[in-house]
Amino acid sequence: MCSVQEEDLENVPSELQNKTCKEKNRNGRICMKCSISPAVVVVRLNDPLCKSCFLAYFTHKFRATIGKSRAIKAGEKVLLAFSGGPSSSAMLHLVCEGLSDTAVKKLRFEPGLAFIDEGEVLKQSGEERAYYIEQIQRVANRTKFPFHLLKLEDIFSLGQCLQDDAKYCHKVEGEQTRNHQEKLKNLFDATSSMTAKEDLLRTLRGKLLLATARNIGYSKIMFADCASRISVRLLSDISQGRGGDLPYDTGFSDDRHGDVIFVRPMREFMTKEIGLYNFFHNVETVLIPTLGTMSHSHSSIDRLTENFVSGLQADFPFTVSTIFRTGDKLSVKEVSEDVAACALCGVPMSVNPTLLSTLTDSVSSVKLDTDAKNTPQSASDCCGGCGSGCSSSSSEQVLSKEDILDTFCYGCRLTLKDSKFTVSDLPSSVLEAATKVYHRAQMKEQIKDFLLDE
């Protein structure tokens, strides 16, 4: 996720040796905090710190980010989304340290660990997948936290089997697993652009973690997005028509799903600081290729934005913090219960869905009259029996691809409008949500003449 790229890292080993050989730092700089030890790192723009002051600063910042929000209560079950990358490995280490008996102020929640194997999407061989899982499992076992190994194709079997019953499921539903792998493969193969694939992967990942948290009883999920990642996300969200999702995608907590809240306790850290923390603590990371690995810097909006931000950051060290702080000023407008949520990503759709159709259609040049056929029916289309008769017959009807796109937010529509996916390749949870949103809109249209103006 976050890549360590700053030149300061390279200097660290020699600086450290210096510390042990002779007390005086090569550059003669003294830690600005304790004013005793020689500085070994420079944080922010020009703040020299010694190793122990840096680690204290890092841990304090993590605890302060969690504490400030007051989001996590004592005894609460929290699921850590662990990818093996530098940022989530650092997060795992901080949580382990925070729970140990030696911690100054002990963290008081109950963590669990979840890893998603995305091998099917990344087209990894069976051996590769097994190799990465083994590595992750080794790290996870050391923590003694409950570990949940998920596969992205599980998104198609949500509600059918819990991961804990995996062995049982494996025997009985081996055929079904292959079927799910096939569906996942089809869905990604049908989506041609890298931007759309990355977006879809992120959404499915979130959905799978959410479902797992609900199944097992976790009320929070911790994501390890760091400041550098969030700044990139902020700009790429805007470019992808997801400006309205910004406070959800980049803030400390994301409560779009209601019962399970996503939190980002690493959001104040730069990749460089995370790299230093991992280095000093010898934190083991497992590097697993992702969709964007080895791809050209112009292959997706995310990659391009990442390139742009890190390029600027190299010359202007305040780039990330400026973008980040600007994003922090955004907040979510109170949404009424009445607002429908996107059937794919779950973000509340405050903009009128019909207007959204028009907007996306003008981009994709789909004729507007196709929409007239698919959007909420007029009374004349009624079966005649009306009332419950209409809605019960329509609840069994299968939605077309266009109907389903109508239940998505603007960003998700843009993601999938060019995808050649078939409706049956979508996870059932998405189809269910889409049916619900669609029927709600239909019902609202039917009764709109009887509603009072707001």
Per CB under 5 A, the segment of 11-19, 57-65, 233-241, 345-353 that binds Zn ion is 345-353
140 versus 412: smaller Cβ distance to Zn ion: 412
Spatial CB neighbours of 29, under 8 Å, sequence gap ≥ 6: 38, 39, 48
In the complex with Zn ion, the residue whose CB is nearer, 50 or 204, is: 50
Q: Tell me if 48 sits within 8 A of 32, measured CB to CB.
A: yes
C-beta of 126: minimal distance to Zn ion in Å? Answer: 33
Rounded to the nearest whole angstrom, what is the least distance from the CB of residue 119 to Zn ion in the complex? 25
Burial (CB < 10 A; 0-12, 13-18, 19+), residue 228, is: buried
Q: Would you count residue 342 as binding Zn ion (CB under 5 A)? A: yes
By CB under 5 A, tell whether 304 contacts Zn ion: no
State which of residues 122, 226, 344, 356 lies at the interface with Zn ion (CB under 5 A): 344
Q: Count the site residues for Zn ion by CB under 5 A.
A: 11
Rounded to an integer, what distance in angstroms lies between the CA atom of residue 433 and that of residue 357?
18
* Residue 116 contacts Zn ion per CB under 5 A: no
Q: Which is nearer to Zn ion, 117 or 406 (CB)?
A: 406
Taking the complex as a whole, the smallest distance from the CB of residue 51 to Zn ion amounts, in Å, to 8
Q: Are 197 and 291 in contact (CB under 8 A)?
A: yes
Q: Strand 147-151 vs strand 220-222: parallel, antiparallel, or unpaired? A: unpaired
C-beta closer to Zn ion: residue 43 or 50 = 50
Decide: is 200 part of the binding site for Zn ion (CB under 5 A): no
- Residue 241 falls in which region: left (phi positive, over 0), alpha (psi -120 to 50) or beta: left
What is the Cα–Cα distance from 117 to 232, expressed in whole angstroms? 24
412 binds Zn ion (CB under 5 A): yes
Q: Which stretch binds Zn ion (CB under 5 A): 296-304, 329-337, 344-352, 384-392?
A: 344-352
Nearer to Zn ion, 117 or 245 (CB): 245
| 28-57 binders of Zn ion (CB under 5 A) | 31, 33-34, 37, 50, 53
Give the C-alpha separation, 41 to 358, whole Å: 53
Interatomic CA distance for residues 263 and 77, integer angstroms: 13
- Give yes or no for residue 345 binding Zn ion (CB under 5 A): yes
Q: Is 409 in the site for Zn ion (CB under 5 A)?
A: yes
CB of 49 to Zn ion, least distance (A): 6
Find the shortest distance in angstroms from Cβ 245 to Zn ion.
Answer: 7
Cα–Cα separations (whole angstroms), residue 86 to 169, 201, 266:
33, 20, 11
81 binds Zn ion (CB under 5 A): no
> How many Å is the maximal CA-CA distance in the chain?
91
- Minimum distance of Zn ion from residue 55's CB (angstroms): 10
- Residue 351 contacts Zn ion per CB under 5 A: no
Binding part of the chain for Zn ion, among 1-9, 222-230, 384-392, 401-409 by CB under 5 A, reads 401-409
Give the 3-state DSSP-derived string for 90-153, with helices as H, strands as E and coil as C.
Answer: HHHHHHHHHHCCCCCCCCCCEEEEEEEECHHHHCCCHHHHHHHHHHHHHHHHHHCCCEEEEEHH
- Tell the smallest beta-carbon distance from residue 133 to Zn ion (Å): 30
Least distance CB 381 / Zn ion (angstroms): 28
DSSP-based three-state secondary structure for 441: helix
Contact between 281 and 54 (Cβ < 8 Å): no
The DSSP bridge pattern shows strands 110-117 and 77-81 to be parallel
Positions in the binding site for Zn ion (CB under 5 A): 31, 33-34, 37, 50, 53, 342, 344-345, 409, 412
